[in-house]
Structure 1
Amino acid sequence: MQILAADIKTIKIILKEARIHMNNTTANMPLKDSLKPSPLALLPIGVFLVIYAGSGIIFHDFYNMPAIIAFLAALLTAFLQTRTLSFSEKITVIAKGLADENIITMCLIFLTAGAFSGAVSAAGGVEHTVNLGLKLLPASWSAAGLFIIGCFLSISMGTSVGTISALAPIAVGISEKTSISLAMCIGAVISGAMFGDNLSMISDTTIAATRTQGCSMKDKFRTNFFIVLPAAILTFVLLLILPSHSEVVSVYAKDANLLLIAPYLFVLVSALCGMNVFAVLILGTVFSLAAGIFTGNLSGMEIFTCMGDGITAMYDITVISIIVSCIGSLIKYNGGIDWLLTAIRQRIRSPKGARFGISVLTAGIDTATANNTISIILAGPIAKEISTEYDISPCETASLLDISASVTQGLLPYGAQVLYASAATASAVMPLSGVDIIAYNYYPMFMAFCLLGWIFLRRTHNK
């Protein structure tokens, strides 16, 4: 009996040591890349859309609810869903997602682009660029001229809202002094703003689209430009022949300093020549500060505060990008991305269907969020998986994302661009609502047709 008791005790010790060894082994095992595909894993996105879009519908203002609050609620939902992992393991999952080279690069580009934008704006580059365009273009081109100036300004500044803020008051003045309808002038401004928002090397949408797909900005610009060029030409021609012009407006007489415009040209040309985007933005910022100091527009602490203001303006989108990456990592681990890809693949039969699916997905998210950058960040990882499956080049996928988001954003009556433009008409004899304006946003409309033509009418080429 004593021998048997000793044997049992020995067995218990062995089993205990075996359990300890197994627990240690399990703890040190790498986490799975993802669980089984499940539609429930997409619940965080649904929570975000309900909170963000729901507040916009209830309060009649889609910018009443800060996007970051809705995204934090979505992140909390994703954390609560992932029950198979401990809290520290969940942190490990999102840390791996944040460690992605594209996410880090995107955030750093956002901040350096903000520094450039703040410096060049404070130096007076925006005002003088507008003045030069108004001075060079004939008065008979008033509406078409607003579009051309908007195109150049937005592609140089990288922001559609900034372009609208600078040009919309001028558009109101031109409308009051000519026979051109205010809605057409404002529509021309928004059209020009969306041109650069989609194409600019320092636009947050371009940055998000290229980084999520892992392609160069130069390659994306080349592909994107040839898709939307017919839309820009058609818009210019339409704005040239539709209005009837009556008199020259005095606003064209303002002076423009070419030195203050030069930083925009430097950034545009350098980026197109393939220079590293960080080098372009840093040198462009230094160039802008030097021009501002030389002309007397900047002095003392203004040299630093203008850069700080520009960087601060990028905080929201940078933090949102980080939070969205965290949410995406948990959604992917829980099998949401795999389920969504499976569902999309079941409805896609060809590369054309894949391109159309990416475009519809992006447009749908933008309709719900009223933010084209956020829609690209959300749709980007899914689009990358689809494009890899159907052998679509990264630069084309980035173009599809950016164009789809820009088309939708330019036609949303509750989007920031249309809302800013509508607010600028408050001083006019007959102020405009967002619905009044979108009928004259010709460029986003033509861009939609060009995108569909690119998807369905051209021959399919592999990478």
Structure 2
Amino acid sequence: MKEREIRPRGVALLPFLVFIVIYLGSGIYLQTKGVEMAFYQFPAPTACLIGVAVAFIMFKGTMAEKFTTFAKGVGNEDIIIMCMIYLMSGAFSEVSKLMGGVDSVVNLGLSVIPPHFATAGIFIIACFMALATGTSMGTLAAIAPIAIGIVEKTGLNYPLMMAAAIGGSMFGDNLSVISDTTIAATRTQGCGMRDKFKCNIVIALPAAIITFILLLIFGRPDVAVGIETGSYSFIKVLPYLFVLIFALGGMDVFAVLGIGIVLSGVIGVFAAGISFLDLGKSIYDGMMGMMEVFLTSIFIAGMAEMVSKEGGLLWLIEKVQKIIKGPKSAEVGIAAMVSVTDVAIANNTVSIIVSGPIARGLCEHYKVDPRRSASLLDIFACVMQGAIPYGAQILMIGSLTGGAVSAFEVIPLLWYQWLLAILAIISIFIPFADGVIKKDPWNFEHWVPESELRKKQDTYELKEEQ
């Protein structure tokens, strides 16, 4: 075995640039031409596959070596878990819809909640569910179909309702102690989850409260609507109640979705007269409905691994480091670094893992509190992940709505993410969030100097067989 240091190369980012230019460029062009659902006319997986082809053409090595690198990215544990959530989410959504669950939940909700409170209510439910489960994807899988049904019944602002669901899911994903992003941020920075949570909540909670108030004000129907509440069967609501209650209770997202699928299937067979064959087809259709986001995710993961191996991400990181002069600019650099990385690879957990070791070194050199660094990493990774048009969250919304809502209709309405980013930036220059942690980070029990950490990590080294 021999080791080769990865050297920063800006040109290695070209495959990502090709993907973004084709995907966004075609959408913008068609939008100017008045084409309906312009950003869904050129499929994201096709644009991404072209980027992958560029990577295979321009990077050195044999075809077998390139496929090995690509497969390593696709086989990343976080990517596999995310893709399985896609499939299970689609299956749960389709089976529950087939047995009449969506109609029952919507009608029950409309009989209890006034229509003008529905958008704010979806936001709060998504916040609590994601906080308990630690996953924005699982939260959206359960909440989005209900939100879509409410919109169809009430005439509420469709993009705003979807933005509220995404915002709530990112609130919980950012703060939950069982979230992959929290685990990655605290482990790479060497701090405890409780202290990171304290730093984070001081910024995230005000953003959530302001968002809730804005949704109460602006989330009303554009015109007064007379709603005829249809009938509902409480037994058909049970799968959603199960998902909400047990997710809030901390059950694993796979167990929640798996049992939810079974429960919806059993109710569909015995209470709605669905045949076993129809049930099987429904599960398959639900998974196929997630195929666009599934393929996009694995293509991006494989391309990101190839770009990383060629030094593209390291080049981005080094560019960020050049602007750093002191503790405040170090915090700005950490925020910018993880944001740019997430834009490049469209995975908030992976972007934290990539940026974390550099951020840790900056903490030691510029005396930035590592708990503060962990909070910034998680905040800005989640802000960008929930807002990029090719990110998993917005892609899932596009899949669940059948393309009825454009990513660029939703992005400006992601009030929670934008408020979170603004408050986080303010906290760098006006350190209102620092008072919640009292311990000296340099005597902190979890802290390990970056020099020691380097002995255990090979973030920028690639082992190759001789």
TM-score band (shorter)? 0.5 to 0.7
Do structure 1's residue 144 and structure 2's residue 117 form an aligned pair? Answer: yes
Matched, 1:90 2:66: yes
Q: Distance in 2 between matches of 1:50 and 1:149?
A: 34
What is the alpha-carbon root mean square deviation over aligned residues? 4.5
* Pair 211,58 (structure 1): closer, same or farther in 2 beyond 3 Å: farther
Among residues 31, 44, 47, which one is paired with 1:67 in the alignment? 44
1-side partners of 2:413 and 2:298: how far apart? 36
1:236-247 matches, cutoff 5 A: 236-240=212-216
Q: How does 1:242-253 map to 2 (within 5 A)?
A: 250-251=226-227, 253=229
Mapping for residues 20-59 of structure 1, pairs under 5 Å: 29=1, 32=3, 34-59=5-30
Letter aligned with residue 340 of structure 1: L
Match for 2:288 among 307, 312, 321? 312
Structure 1 residue runs of 5 or longer lacking an equivalent are 1-28, 175-184, 366-372, 426-431
Deviates further, 129-138 or 343-352: 343-352
d(CA) in 2 for partners of 1:415 and 1:196? Answer: 16
Aligned to 1:198: 170
Asked whether the 8 Å contact 1:34–1:335 carries over to 2, the reply is no
**Aligned-partner Cα distance in 2 for 1:271–1:161:** 15
Counterpart amino acid of 2:105? T
Aligned amino acid, residue 43 of structure 2: P
User: 1:335 and 1:261 mapped to 2: Cα distance?
Assistant: 51
Q: Deviations over 1:100-153 (max 9, x none)?
A: 322333322322232222222322222222222211124xxx423333146547
Whether contact under 8 Å (1:409, 1:417) holds in the other structure is no
Q: Distance in 2 between matches of 1:246 and 1:344?
A: 44
Distance in 1, matches of 2:90 and 2:70, equals 26
- Structure 2 equivalent of residue 265 of structure 1: 241
Alignment correspondent of 1:400 = 380
TM-score (norm 1): 0.68
Aligned residue identity for 2:76: D
Residue 251 of structure 1 deviates from its aligned partner by 2.0
Change (3 A) 1:188 1:325: closer
User: Contact (CA 8 Å) 1:160, 1:417: kept in 2 or not?
Assistant: no
| Counterparts of residues 255-294 of structure 1 (less than 5 Å) | 255-294=231-270
**Preserved CA contact (<8 Å) 1:406 1:444:** yes
Q: Any conservation in 2 of the 1:106–1:208 contact (CA below 8 Å)?
A: no
**d(CA) in 1 for partners of 2:307 and 2:220?**
55
Given that residues 73 and 305 in structure 2 are in contact (C-alpha distance below 8 angstroms), is that contact kept between their aligned partners in structure 1? Answer: yes
Say if 1:240 and 1:381 are closer, same or farther in 2 by CA, change over 3 A: closer
Residue 251 of structure 2 aligns to a residue in which SS? coil
Q: Distance in 2 between matches of 1:244 and 1:40?
A: 48
CA drift of 1:297 comes to: 5.9
Secondary structure at 1:128 match in 2: helix
With over 3 angstroms needed to count, the CA separation of the structure-2 counterparts of 1:227 and 1:405, relative to structure 1, is farther
Q: Distance in 1 between matches of 2:227 and 2:306?
A: 54
SS in 1 for 2:80: helix
Structure 1 residues 122 and 397, CA, compared in 2 at 3 Å: closer, same or farther? Answer: farther
Q: Which SS does the other structure have where 2:39 is aligned? A: coil
Greater mean deviation of Cα atoms: 55-64 or 391-400: 391-400
Using a 3 Å threshold, how does the CA distance of structure 1 residues 235 and 272 change in structure 2: closer, same or farther? same
Q: Distance in 1 between matches of 2:126 and 2:50?
A: 37
Among 148, 151, 161, the alignment partner of 1:189 is: 161
Corresponding position of 2:58: 81
Give 1:272 deviation, angstroms: 3.7
Per-residue deviation at 1:330? 1.6
CA distance in 1, matches of 2:219, 2:144: 25
CA distance in 2, matches of 1:243, 1:52: 30
Q: 1:117 aligns with which of 70, 79, 93?
A: 93
Report what 1:167 is aligned to. 150
Counterpart for residue 274 of structure 2? 298
Separation of aligned partners in 2, 1:153 and 1:375: 20
Distance change >3 Å, CA 254–CA 49, structure 1 → 2: same
Closer/same/farther in 2, CA of residues 288 and 455 from structure 1, 3 Å limit = farther
The TM-score with structure 2 as length reference comes to: 0.68
Q: CA deviation at 1:212?
A: 7.9
CA 1:290/1:358 → structure 2, altered by over 3 Å: closer, same or farther?
Answer: farther
8 Å contact 1:190–1:418 — kept in the other structure?
A: no
CA gap 1:278/1:236 in 2 versus in 1, 3 angstroms = closer
Residues 284-293 or 154-163, more deviating: 154-163
- SS in structure 2 opposite 1:318? helix
2: distance between equivalents of 1:124 and 1:211? 38
* 1:399 Cα offset (Å): 4.6
Change (3 A) 1:340 1:164: same
Identity %: 27
Contact 1:79 1:90 in 2 (8 A): yes
Structure label with greater radius of gyration: 1
User: Number of aligned pairs?
Assistant: 394
Q: Deviations over 1:344-386 (max 9, x none)?
A: 2223454632453156427866xxxxxxx94648856544455
**Corresponding residue to 1:459 among 400, 411, 434:** 434
CA distances 1:22-46 after superposition (whole Å, capped 9, x unpaired): xxxxxxx55x555422111111111
Q: Give the structure 2 partner of residue 352 of structure 1.
A: 331
Amino acid at match of 1:300: F
CA-to-aligned-CA distance 1:244-293 (integer Å, 9 cap, x gap):
99999642633333332332232233334333332222112112222333
Instruction: Determine the C-alpha separation between the residues in 1 that align with 2:227 and 2:25.
Output: 43
Unaligned runs of 5+ in 2: 32-37, 130-138, 188-192, 364-369, 447-466
Given the superposition, is the C-alpha separation of residues 378 and 245 from structure 1 closer, same or farther in structure 2, using an over 3 Å criterion?
closer
More displaced stretch, 282-291 vs 160-169: 160-169
Instruction: Indicate conservation of the 8 Å contact 2:335/2:376, yes or no.
Output: no
Of 81, 84, 100, 1:105 maps to: 81
Distance 1:448 1:89 in 2: 40
